[in-house]
Structure 1
Amino acid sequence: MIHAIFGLGLRATVVLAGTAIATFALLWHAPGDPALAIAMARYDVVVTADVIDIVRAEAGLDGGFWPAFQGWIGPLLTGDFGRSSVTGRPVWPDLVTALSYTFPLALLGLLIGMGIAVPLAVVAARHKGGWPDRLAVALASLGAAIPAYWLGLLLILLFAVKLAWLPAVGARTTAHMVLPALTLGLGAAAALTRILRSGILEARLQPFLPAFERRGVSAGGIARNHVTPHAAIPVVTVFGLELAFLLEGAVMIEVIFSRPGLGSFLVQAIGARDFPKVQAVVILTALLFVTINLLIDLLYHTIDPRIGDHDA
């Protein structure tokens, strides 16, 4: 088990290092002068060449790619995300503030998705081949086919514009979270329904289940002690990764619904070529994926110890 955790940690380090280098390289080689973008975002006026040169020196952009990268990655290794190239403020407090809006939205979206997916999948698996099963599969396929941004606009038109039941933009009240969370949740429900349905059906086809039935084990006992653990493995995978994907999806949804959070934080940072802010979001997202993958592997071992023994 310790050997497996060490291997996962090593792979996580490689992923994070590669992500940091790739993102910094993309920002560095993007069209336009990053010093000009930073200066215009900082002063919001037409800037002179002298001001651009000063900004370039302050941002560490005058020494080449690798010196600039080392100047950013060095403090990061000690937990310092640096200061914004535009405002001069520390990046970490602003990032935490943005995340405080995005994480509850993603979590609520995941809960909505699970609340829809679990009953749909159970009913579909119980009536395999029947009309409830076909309806559940059709709804899941439809949900997977609709882009999140288009679904968000449809919900705005229906519930905010036509019915005037819910607010469409902002984050002032709890009601402002309903439409964006519903947009995320409906998309998550599509993936979760299909995976959960398949897991339940596969678990029910295990060859040892008829033996338990012949021994007089109740249907509830079989479902609780044997079907559920087998069906839980793919669900754990999708549940963890779906939360990470919803955090990413929330970035786009926040832009559509004009909510504060990682969406506006990232869009503004990219437009201003604010390297520390963009890198902070990317590193945080990569770290989230890596951590979730590690937790999923540990849960695998808890659900089925044979998986951990095999990996060891």
Structure 2
Amino acid sequence: MIAALAGLLLRAVVVLFGTALLTFALLWNSPGDPAQAIAMARFDALLTDDVIDQVRVEAGLDRTFWVAFLDWLGPLLRLDFGHSSVTGRPVWPDLSNAMGYTFPLALAALVIGIGVSLPLAYLATRRPGGWLDRASVAVATLGTAIPAYWLGLLLILIFAVHLAWLPAMGARTPAHGILPAVTLGLGVAASLTRIIRSGILEARARPFLPALRRRGVGSAAIGRDHVAPHAAVPVLTVLGLELAFLLEGLVLVEAIFGRPGLGSFLVTAIMARDFPHVQAVVVLTALIFVTVNLVIDVAYRILDPRIGGRDA
């Protein structure tokens, strides 16, 4: 187990380093003159060549690629994301402020997704092939096919415009987060419902379960000790993928509902060529992905020790 965990940690470090290098290289070789874009975002006035050259030096764009990358990587290992090329302020306070809006929204959407999918999948598997099962699959398939931006606009039209029950724009009160969280959560629920349903049905079809019933093991014990662990492995995989869906959908949802957060933070940074801000968001996202996948890999080995045995 320790050797497997060390291998997982090594792979995580390699992925993080590769992500940091690739991100830096893409931004460094982006078309146009980043110094001019930064100067225009900073001063918003007629620019001279002297001003652009000064900005280029201040932003470190006059150095070679590897020198600039190593100068950025060193502080990054201490989670120091540097200073904004446009405002000159440290990146971390602005980034943490954006995270304060995005992470609670993502958590609320995940809770909604799990809260809807678990009972729906359980009801669907009570009678496989029945009308409730077919209806659940149809609803889940439809939910997966609906884009987040279309669903968000539909919810705004119904609950904010026609019914006037909920606010549509901003993030001033907890009520402002209901429609965005539901928009993302229903998409998560659609994917999880199908996977949980398939996992439960597959686990119930295990050949050793009839032998357990003949030995007098109760249905509750079989479901808790055998069906649930087998069904949880594919669900964990999808939960890791749903994190990607959430982070991707948050950019659109925050734009639709006019919310501050990592999405608007990233878009503003890209438009202004604020490289430290863009790099901070990408590295933070990669760190979240790697951490979640590492936790899922460890959970795999707890639920099914054979996975760790195959690695060994």
Q: TM-score, with normalisation over the residues of structure 2?
A: 0.96
Tell me how far 1:127 sits from its aligned partner: 1.8
Instruction: Give distance in 1, aligned partners of 2:45 and 2:156.
Output: 36
Give 1:87's aligned residue: 87
Amino acid aligned to 1:194:
R
CA drift of 1:244 comes to 4.5
**1:106-163 CA-partner distances (Å, limit 9, x unpaired):** 0100111111111111111122111111111111111111111111111111111121
Paired residue for 1:18?
Answer: 18
Mapping of residues 1-312 of structure 1, within 5 Å? 1-312=1-312
3-state SS of the aligned residue for 1:125? helix
Bigger shift: 183-192 or 213-222?
Answer: 213-222
Q: Distance in 2 between matches of 1:301 and 1:24?
A: 35
Distance 1:234 1:110 in 2: 17
Q: Deviations over 1:37-75 (max 9, x none)?
A: 111111122322211110001001112333322221222
- Give the counterpart letter for 2:218 in structure 1: S
1:193 to partner: Cα distance: 0.5
Q: Which amino acid aligns with 2:83?
A: R
Runs of at least 4 residues of structure 1 off by over 6 A?
none
The question of whether the paired residues in 2 share the 8 Å contact of 1:118 and 1:193 is answered with: yes
Measure the CA separation in 2 of the matches of 1:35 and 1:2. 48
CA displacement at 1:29 relative to structure 2 = 2.2
CA distance in structure 2 between the aligned counterparts of 1:245 and 1:288, rounded to whole angstroms:
13
Over the residues paired in the alignment, what is the CA RMSD in angstroms?
1.3
Contact 1:166 1:179 in 2 (8 A): yes
What displacement does 1:236 show? 1.9
Structure 1 counterpart of 2:69, one-letter code: F
- TM-score computed with the length of structure 1 as normaliser: 0.96
Whole-Å Cα distance in 2 between the matches of residues 225 and 214 of structure 1?
Answer: 16
The amino acid across from 2:266 in the alignment is L
Moved more, 195-204 or 123-132: 123-132
Letter in 1 for 2:59: A
Q: Which moved more, 1:222-231 or 1:58-67?
A: 58-67
Aligned mates of 1:117, 1:134 — CA distance in 2: 15
Q: In 2, Cα distance between the equivalents of 1:61 and 1:71?
A: 12
Q: How many residues align?
A: 312
2:209 and 2:133 map into 1 onto residues whose CA distance is: 22
Which 10-residue stretch deviates more, 270-279 or 246-255? Answer: 246-255
User: Percent identity at matched positions?
Assistant: 71
The answer for unaligned runs of 5 or more in structure 1 is none
Q: Supply the distance in 2 between the matched residues of 1:127 and 1:39 (Cα, whole angstroms).
A: 65
CA–CA separation in structure 2 for the residues paired with 1:152 and 1:46: 40
- Alpha-carbon distance, 1:291 to partner: 0.6
SS of the residue corresponding to residue 259 of structure 2 reads: coil
Which amino acid is the alignment partner of residue 204 of structure 1? R
Q: Which moved more, 1:264-273 or 1:296-305?
A: 296-305
Moved more, 137-146 or 239-248: 239-248
In 1, Cα distance between the equivalents of 2:310 and 2:288? 26
Aligned residues of 1:102 and 1:262 also touching (Cα < 8 A): yes
Letter in 1 for 2:86: V
What amino acid maps onto 1:307 in structure 2? I
Question: C-alpha separation between the residues in 2 aligned to 1:44 and 1:167?
Answer: 34
Contact map agreement 1:241 1:292 (CA 8 A) in 2: no
| Cα separation, 2, equivalents of 1:252 and 1:27 | 22
Contact 1:60–1:71 (CA<8 Å) still a contact in 2?
no
Is the deviation greater in 21-30 or in 126-135? 21-30
Offset at 1:186? Answer: 0.7
**Relative to structure 2, which stretch is displaced further, 147-156 or 70-79?**
70-79
Partner Cα separation in structure 2 for residue 297 and residue 17 of structure 1: 20
Cα displacement (A) at 1:211: 0.5
Match of 1:288, as an amino acid? I
| d(CA) in 2 for partners of 1:221, 1:6 | 35
